[in-house]
């Protein structure tokens, strides 16, 4: 065996024997590194006679290439082996039953949002979303709140520090700004609902600084107040899972709708229980109205061509009513015992075919 051949055999054996990436790197440095055995041999080429060099040059280059390739192949094999070993230790048996004491619960706000989405999806609505941090234009101006109008004070707004130009960003006080964002982006017909978090500087038994709304918006050429009432009455019946619900639309004021109304539903109190649907008492569940022509104009839509209706309802309140939850503040207390009691099974997906709540 020639000198070069035995060197190659020796190096290949070392490469094969390397137990991990570190050992392999040591072999590489010892062979191909600046002072490695192969590199040292390459340096001797310069001192050879042209004949010798003609023979040794290709031989040494071949050796260098083969050693490099052997190292690369070994490196890959080591990486694959390491991955296999890791996968083996991290193996999870997905067929194991969930331990009952470890099972999480779905928060009523999430569950009720899913219920509402299921109801309106079946009516042909899409879901739209927008940012929690808004600017004045979307949250107020485009929605026809006049500058310095007291209506802006109605919403106890959380403002950010003013920017250099004096403008202030804010935490959206309602989901209505997403109406504007949608109308500016997409042509009618529009049929959307907008679930999301909203913020107001307010806190007592029935108010928290953060709460949840679902907004609705329909824009086309002929939707009218009758469609609005039909849609919301159908919603109330399906949501409360009763055969009929008494409703009442009371005139109200919102800057972004004209006419505006609040929708009440009938209920009665039987002992400690509230029965929704019938009875002589009324409770307000949402605000609604026909989209104001100014709002359409602000979004670049011609009010002589397009019209439509909108509404906004409080998800937390709807959850309290349906599931008999007494205090709103508990929704945000992150108390595992409360969630254990009022929360939902993760496998209970709200679904109109099988029943919203089971």
Report how many residues bind ligand DAH under the rule CB under 6 A.
11
Residue 138 interacts with ligand DAH (CB under 6 A): yes or no:
no
Instruction: Name the one range near ligand DAH by CB under 6 A: 7-15, 203-211, 242-250, 308-316.
Output: 308-316
**Minimum separation from the CB atom of position 154 to ligand DAH (A):** 8
Nearer to ligand DAH, 30 or 154 (CB): 154
Which residue from 67, 193, 288, 321 is in contact with ligand DAH, where contact means CB under 6 A? 288
Q: Is 182 in the site for ligand DAH (CB under 6 A)?
A: no
* Cβ atoms 274, 324 nearer than 8 A: yes
Taking the least distance from each CB to ligand DAH, the nearer of 111 and 173 is 173
Q: How far is the CB of 114 from ligand DAH (least distance, A)?
A: 21
| 106 contacts 346 by C-beta, under 8 angstroms | yes
CB of 255 to ligand DAH, least distance (A): 9
**Residues across the chain:** 358
Q: 36 or 196: whose CB is closer to ligand DAH?
A: 196
How far from the centroid of its chain's Cα atoms is residue 124's Cα?
22
Beta strands in the chain (DSSP E): 126-127, 133-135, 169-171, 190-199, 210-220, 247-254, 257-270, 273-276, 281-291, 307-314
312 near ligand DAH, rule: CB under 6 A: yes
Q: Residue 218 in contact with residue 339, Cβ under 8 Å?
A: no
- Of 60-99, binders to ligand DAH (CB under 6 A) are none
Triad 222, 225, 230: Cα angle to 5°: 100
**Using the rule CB under 6 A, is 176 a contact of ligand DAH?**
yes
Q: Break the chain down into helix, strand, coil percent, rounded to 5.
A: 45, 25, 35
| CB-nearer residue toward ligand DAH: 195 or 312 | 312
Residue 181 within binding range of ligand DAH, rule CB under 6 A: no
Give least dist CB 170 to ligand DAH, A.
14
**Cβ proximity of 31 and 25 under 8 Å:** no
Q: Considering the complex, what minimum distance in angstroms separates the CB of residue 122 from ligand DAH?
A: 21
Q: What does the DSSP 8-state code read for residue 277?
A: S
- Distance of closest approach, residue 176 Cβ to ligand DAH, in angstroms: 4
What SS3 state is found at 45?
helix
Asked whether position 254 contacts ligand DAH by CB under 6 A, the answer is yes
Q: What is the 3-state secondary structure (H, E, C) of 104-142?
A: CCECHHHHHHHHHHHHHHHCCCEECCCCCEEEHHHHCHH
Name every residue whose Cβ is closer than 8 Å to that of residue 297 and which is 6 or more positions away in sequence: 303
When binding is defined by CB under 6 A, the residue of 174, 181, 212, 317 that contacts ligand DAH is: 174
Least distance in Å: CB of 173 to ligand DAH?
7
Contact between 320 and 335 under an 8 Å Cβ cutoff? The reply is no
Instruction: Pick out residues in 188-247 that bind ligand DAH (CB under 6 A).
Output: 215
Which of 27, 285, 310, 339 binds ligand DAH (CB under 6 A)? It is: 310
Contact between 327 and 211 (Cβ < 8 Å): no
Instruction: Tell whether residue 289 is a contact of ligand DAH (CB under 6 A).
Output: yes
Binding site residues, ligand DAH, CB under 6 A:
174, 176, 215, 254, 257, 287-289, 310-312
């Amino acid at each position: 065996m020639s000198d070069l051949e035995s060197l190659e055999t020796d190096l290949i054996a070392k490469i094969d024997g390397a137990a991990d990436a570190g050992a392999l790197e040591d072999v590489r440095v010892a062979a191909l590194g600046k002072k490695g055995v192969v590199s040292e041999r390459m340096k001797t080429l310069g001192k050879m006679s042209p004949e010798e060099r003609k023979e040794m040059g290709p031989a040494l280059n071949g050796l260098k290439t083969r050693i490099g390739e052997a190292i690369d192949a070994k490196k890959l094999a080591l990486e694959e082996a390491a991955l296999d070993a890791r996968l083996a230790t991290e193996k999870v048996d997905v067929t194991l039953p969930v331990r009952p004491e470890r099972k999480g619960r779905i928060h009523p706000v999430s569950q009720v949002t899913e219920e509402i989405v299921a109801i309106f999806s079946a009516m042909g609505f899409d879901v739209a979303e927008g940012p929690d941090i808004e600017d004045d234009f979307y949250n107020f101006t485009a929605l026809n709140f006049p500058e310095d109008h007291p209506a802006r004070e109605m919403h106890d707004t959380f403002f950010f520090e003013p920017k250099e130009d004096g403008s202030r960003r804010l935490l959206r006080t309602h989901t209505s700004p997403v109406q504007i964002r949608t109308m500016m982006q997409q042509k009618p017909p529009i049929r959307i609902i907008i679930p999301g978090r909203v913020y107001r500087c307010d806190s007592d038994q029935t108010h928290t600084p953060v709460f949840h709304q679902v907004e609705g918006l329909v824009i086309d050429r002929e939707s009218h107040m009758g469609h609005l009432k039909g849609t919301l009455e159908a919603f109330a019946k399906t949501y409360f899972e009763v055969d009929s619900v008494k409703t009442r639309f009371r005139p109200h004021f919102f800057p972004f709708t004209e006419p505006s109304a609040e929708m009440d539903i009938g209920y009665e109190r039987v002992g400690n229980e509230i029965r929704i649907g019938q009875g002589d008492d009324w409770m307000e569940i949402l605000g609604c109205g026909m989209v104001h022509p100014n709002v359409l104009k602000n979004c670049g839509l011609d009010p002589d061509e397009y019209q439509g209706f909108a509404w906004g309802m409080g998800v937390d309140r709807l959850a309290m009513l349906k599931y008999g939850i007494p205090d709103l503040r508990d929704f945000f207390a992150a108390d595992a015992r409360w969630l254990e009691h009022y929360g939902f099974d993760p496998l209970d997906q709200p679904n109109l075919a099988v029943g919203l709540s089971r």
